[in-house]
Structure 1
């Protein structure tokens, strides 16, 4: 090995050094084994990384070419309710353990692409919990602050990535287990649409709702994993056909109109972080609609406060009955709630009909849109969870539990810090056939965080397809969307060569003018604004939704000798009628 291995492992960094031949996958595995031994007290693993486990996969790389194997030499963690052939699957319960003869479908696909499984990660037993403390193999520690929870149920998978013991980790998600650990460990957690990733070879929690998910340091790397894991599995009755997402921006952003609840010892910090995130979301330049989202929690109640919880009992109830004392106490309490006598067939069908109505409402509200919520409204110390395991766990699922019930896709992304070493994050939701929208919105949000930018409203020659579009490109501006001003503007045709429009806000009257919204780095915006000739300039332009963005305006005196073209509604229409 000729290069030190960084604490944060990424696909991009490893592939760069594999290509240079100054690092080998074996070098990386040796380092991962050392790191896992150093972090042993964090209870990340049930089957920890070892050369005995990993050697066959290292040897397999010799028969794979880097060029045709997109994940060649990339180490990944597997939640221990997902099968890895020849390695015990425990689901967090040693008495339940079995050794599978074949890989889970997604694991097999990733190995075929060259990825290296490094171990089986700890979890809340039977994937029942969102806290990471419900395991007889020990409570998985938070990767930043060990006194705090790591999130569950996919606790070990997330922490292994955060601690540099895997490049990505596979989790599962029934009610938020692929998103809560991402938030608490400052990762991206991508949950595809139900059935897009096969659950064949996964111990079921609620089979009709279960998803396999991925934790990574960026959405780009999560989507590289998605490319290999996605696809119909003919032997999986829950598998569905969904095309690879194509990143694109939604037509609007939906934010909750109703007040949100925040909880735990950092409730005020989380509330302030959410307010900051909302302001960043508004800077995306997309229309924002506020919607009453209380129906989401009403839908979620069908899972844990209604008869649908019986599906969990159907999955492992027989084992619990036949193995008294084998199940973690709080886990058994949750599972047994699904066997309650009041949950008869009638109650199940009543719940299904209620849920179908909620799905219709979600479909109507979220079409071509992305819903944004905090991934969680707070967090807890591990001591606090032990003292009150049910209520604290329920709190963690307030903004996640509805997702799979309503057939939504989701991605949890970092959104700064609520306090020092206390990550904050938001989750983007959309309909099952709209995964590209959450990817596009997440990309745009992340870009805002990476480089300060501003929106610019352009209404003439700087629009797409016109001569001065090149200036926008030279300033590294990117087109965001088409938009319309508030109905308060006069548009004039200036007597210049070439002809160009001027936009003048009126005290009364005026019309709505079509324009384009672009996003420009602040580092180039100053020079761009300074280059604009009289009588034009940059000022605030009011859009039809009441928001304001910087954009082209014109001084009022220019209207004295110019043609009023307001009635045409936009510069493109002027050229059509010329």
Structure 2
């Protein structure tokens, strides 16, 4: 059977379930497609069956029901680590071969996804055009004479050309959104820290996000459900829960005329006006208020990124390499990086900019309370030749409506919004406050002609762990699980949790009603036993697991352990590991230590 040109998670899972396709067949076709598109400069490490085969072999040990991305091919931007494969960041002289996967990559592989290769990028993730690579400028997936967008150029084009179902990019100034718009894709940029950046070559470490490109929002949310969560080894990681998709009270549009640029400026303006008309129509239908707002504060924040001391953060990350290897980097990239060493970017200037930005964040938070902001993702596009002839100003234009996002701690999703000209996609981006990712998902679904619930259900049917709450029990696809021993992070059975598609949520502790014993097993295991009187608060980890995996996981737990209701310190109860009381007779009481980490430290 032939493979569809447009690969989605739901399509592949359906074919696998029906026996109509095998992962081996899918990967073989992907290799053929990459060879056919070799002159488009999509890959730095292209797909080969020899490299892919170990991941295919591993599928035999994973249950399809327990691995939400079983057999799903994905691409990795080549500033994100894949163990055993060089990370170049678009510069061969910088390259190194990591021993470990990046945090996000590790989670995706644990969920059954198949990494097929490393994609081209604007060198050191510095650019929004896709032409700043010594590996060649990545061609647009639809019109090769146009730019692909950057810096995550190859990642976007690999999805658009049917070589993967989704891909990982990074986003500091818009690199997870601009290529989506130019290649007719969805580009999902989670809130800062929601996905770990461990194993990512930093551009601006305080602003960097790992992102996903996909054909549908539902597919992006499948990936989000696996990738999201605090990583113990990532100092930038934080807990940001994506709420269920829902509509905002207001949709905000920029007041006044917007600027458009490039050879298709008039077509882009017309496409924006058409998108606004469509937005007004669906908001009126669904009772969402549309308001126009002054977006000056967003432009002011955007200006700080490249006209302020944040360029020095790039220099802090890469300056020592550039100084030790002058002339090795792509010319325009080295010029931009060296600008971060300018004398005006002293310590005082950093604090002045930080204080100014804090005021901008406050103003943006007031404007976007219970609201979503909609802007064009790009105000135009360029031919590759035009960008090569004028690399600075053309690149600056591409970030006009994107640069503010991470500085202001916003989440964003870029979605297609028709074509500006034949085979010349136009896209819009929806922005919201960091804790309101559900709003951009709901609003994006509205524009696509779906409702918020339909997006969550579509994501869940493809294997996602859709977010849930008491008020959305009908959509609940996951359960919280309290773990207190070998399933915690850093212990041998952590990979069992990840293999079930579970993700770490937070550290917590039980109510002060439990004893903790060390069971005489090999290896030693903890047993938590609730007491009628007395007891202590035991430190726990709270994970979220797909319900479809929960039954099999529970059935495999050996006695005297099991899953029961664990009372947390705030009085709520969640499913979690408990131990039958009889086991205490032959076990060592370690309650006083209050944590298994204090009994048997992790490896």
TM superposition score category, shorter chain reference: 0.7 to 0.9
In 2, distance between residues paired with 1:351 and 1:258? 27
- Flag as ranges the 4+ runs of structure 1 deviating above 6 A: none
1:309 is matched with which residue?
311
Q: Are residue 69 (structure 1) and residue 71 (structure 2) matched? A: no
- Residue aligned with 1:393, SS: helix
Map 1:426-437 → 2, pairs under 5 A: 426-437=428-439
State the distance in 1 between where 2:208 and 2:256 align: 29
Question: For 1:165, which of 163, 166, 182 is the aligned residue?
Answer: 163
2:14 aligned counterpart, secondary structure = helix
Q: Secondary structure at the match of 2:359?
A: helix
2:144: which partner in 1? 146
Matches within 5 A, 1:15-414: 15-283=13-281, 284-285=283-284, 286-414=288-416
Aligned residue pairs total 447
- Match of 2:449, SS state, is helix
Secondary structure, aligned partner of 1:288:
strand
Contact 1:195–1:238 (8 Å) recurs in 2: yes
User: 1:504-537 CA deviation, whole Å, 9 max, x = no partner?
Assistant: xxxxxxxxxxxxxxxxxxxxxxxxxxxxxxxxxx
Partner Cα distance (2:76, 2:420) in 1:
29
C-alpha deviation, 1:448, in angstroms:
6.8
Task: Please give the per-residue CA displacement for 1:394-421, whole angstroms capped at 9, x wherever unaligned.
Answer: 0000000000000000000000010100
Asked whether the equivalents of residues 403 and 409 of structure 1 are also in contact (C-alpha less than 8 Å), the reply is yes
Higher relative contact order (CA 8 A, sep 6+): 2
CA distance in 1: counterparts of 2:233 and 2:363, whole angstroms:
32
The CA distance in 1 between the partners of 2:163 and 2:200, in whole Å, is 22
Structure 2 stretches lacking a partner, 5+ long: 452-603
Structure 2 counterparts to residues 545-564 of structure 1, below 5 A: none
Q: CA RMSD in A?
A: 0.9
Match of 2:485 in 1: none
Asked if structure 2 preserves the Cα contact closer than 8 Å seen for 1:158 and 1:181, the reply is yes
Write the distance in 2 (CA, Å) between the matches of 1:88 and 1:15.
Answer: 30
Shift of 1:39: 0.2
1: CA distance between counterparts of 2:250 and 2:133? Answer: 41
Separation of aligned partners in 2, 1:446 and 1:439: 11
| Corresponding residue of 2:441 | 439
The answer as to whether partners of 2:242 and 2:435 remain within 8 angstroms in 1 is: no
1:82 alignment partner, SS class: coil
C-alpha separation in 2, matches of 1:22 and 1:273? 40
1:280, 1:448 within 8 Å by CA — same for their partners in 2? no
CA distance in 2, matches of 1:426, 1:364: 22
Tell me, in whole angstroms, the C-alpha distance in 2 between the residues paired with 1:53 and 1:330.
33
Moved more, 289-298 or 60-69: 289-298
**SS state of the match for residue 12, structure 1?**
helix
CA deviations on 1:191-213 (whole Å, 9 max, x unpaired) are 00000000000000000000000
Note if contact 2:297-2:364 (Cα within 8 Å) is conserved in structure 1. Answer: no
1:291-316 superposed Cα distances (whole Å, 9 cap, x missing partner): 11022111111110111110010110
Counterparts in 2 of 1:448 and 1:114: CA distance versus 1, 3 Å: closer
Q: How far apart, CA to CA, are the structure 2 residues paired with 1:203 and 1:219?
A: 27
**Most deviating of 371-380 and 6-15:** 6-15
Contact 1:54/1:116 (<8 A) preserved: yes
C-alpha distance in 2 between matches for 1:389 and 1:245: 40
| Equivalent-residue separation in structure 1 for 2:253 and 2:103 (angstroms) | 36
Residue by residue over 1:59-91, the C-alpha shift from the partner in whole angstroms, topping out at 9 and shown as x without a partner, is: 110100101000000000000000000000000
- 1:244 Cα deviation from its structure 2 partner: 3.1
TM-score of the superposed pair, with normalisation by structure 1? 0.77
Provide, for residues 415-457 of structure 1, a one-character-per-residue CA deviation record: whole Å limited to 9, x for no partner: 00101000011000000000000000000000179xxxxxxxx
Q: 1:235 and 1:112 mapped to 2: Cα distance?
A: 17
Contact persistence 2:73–2:166 (CA under 8 A): yes
CA distance in 2, matches of 1:355, 1:123: 29
How far apart, in 1, do the equivalents of 2:36 and 2:136 lie? 16
Gaps of 5+ in 1: 450-578
**CA distance in 1: counterparts of 2:46 and 2:223, whole angstroms:** 22
- Contact 1:258-1:293 at 8 Å conserved across structures: no
Cα-to-partner distance string for 1:547-571 (whole Å, 9 max, x where unaligned): xxxxxxxxxxxxxxxxxxxxxxxxx
Match of 2:463 in 1: none
Q: d(CA) in 2 for partners of 1:52 and 1:138?
A: 25
Which secondary structure does the structure 2 equivalent of 1:148 belong to? coil
The TM-score with structure 2 as length reference comes to 0.74
User: Over residues 289-347 of structure 1, what are the superposed CA-to-partner deviations in whole Å (9 max), with x where a residue is unaligned?
Assistant: 11110221111111101111100101101000001121000000111111001111111
Which of structures 1 and 2 has the bigger CA Rg? 1
Q: Helix, strand or coil for the counterpart of 2:448?
A: helix
The answer to whether the 8 A contact 1:258-1:294 is kept is no
Distance 1:225 1:8 in 2: 17
